[in-house]
A and B are shown apart, each in its own frame.
Chain A
Amino acid sequence: GQSLEQPSEVTAVEGAIVQINCTYQTSGFYGLSWYQQHDGGAPTFLSYNALDGLEETGRFSSFLSRSDSYGYLLLQELQMKDSASYFCAVRDPKDTGRRALTFGSGTRLQVQP
């Protein structure tokens, strides 16, 4: 089986930097993904880490440490529009060997002026 843990809420001010952590337990591991979801909207893909280290995409970066079963999403130069929920997700082999995507319960980020 698998489980993912992330904080339920984070608050930060506009222009600041915020880090959202994710720890996971899986029977296998095929990478850690991050998704963003605004209220009333659908989740949208942000980033993916298969190997250890930092991946940067504009203001967003994602980090993975496979030895620690840990990753984080780093958001820089926060803007009001970054207020959303952020989910980490892993692919984990089931009994069938197929790799379904499992999501954490999400971190709600509130950006304040």
Chain B
Amino acid sequence: NAGVTQTPKFQVLKTGQSMTLQCAQDMNHEYMSWYRQDPGMGLRLIHYSVGAGITDQGEVPNGYNVSRSTTEDFPLRLLSAAPSQTSVYFCASSYSDSDYEQYFGPGTRLTVT
């Protein structure tokens, strides 16, 4: 199993550009989520999904869109990048929303200039 994979590892965007961060898992997990991590602020939940076709907003959803058309993939779209979105983005998955162990991808380090 590859576990949770994320692409790209690094990305630099200009303000106003859009892009999609990719996340995939091969563990047949129903629950997937996106977090951003800023220095000293821990992990903040952006969006999550409890299964294909079902998504919900987390703590900091503004400026981001998600969709879940398959169990395996959960892409995160930045609509119009802003410097405040400079962060490290982690995708995570677990069997269900009641599962206490989440598996994290390696992260995408995004810089918006």
Interface residues, chain A, CB within 8 Å of chain B? 8, 30-31, 33, 41-45, 48, 50, 87, 91, 94, 96, 98-106
In Å, the complex CA distance between A8 and B35 comes to: 20
Q: Give per-residue flags for B50-71: 1 if the beta carbon is below 8 A from chain A beta carbons, else 0.
A: 1000001011000000000000
**In the complex, what residues of A have CB within 8 A of residue B40's CB?**
8, 105
Q: A91-B98, A100-B56 are in contact. Are A42 and B104 (CB under 8 A)?
A: yes
Q: Chain A's interface: helix, strand, loop or mixed, by majority? A: loop
B35, B92, B97, B104: the one contacting A99 at CB < 8 Å is B97
Q: Does B25 contact A (CB under 8 A)?
A: no
Chain B interface residue bracket vs A: 20 to 34
Closest chain A CB from B53 CB (angstroms):
14
Please state if B43 and A43 are interface contacts (CB–CB under 8 Å): yes
Distance from A65 Cβ to chain B, minimum over Cβ atoms (Å):
18
Q: Would B42 and A106 count as touching, CB distance under 8 A?
A: yes
Does the CB pair B100–A31 fall under 8 Å?
A: yes
B42 touching A104, Cβ below 8 Å: yes
Closest residue to B102 on the A side, CB-wise?
Answer: A101
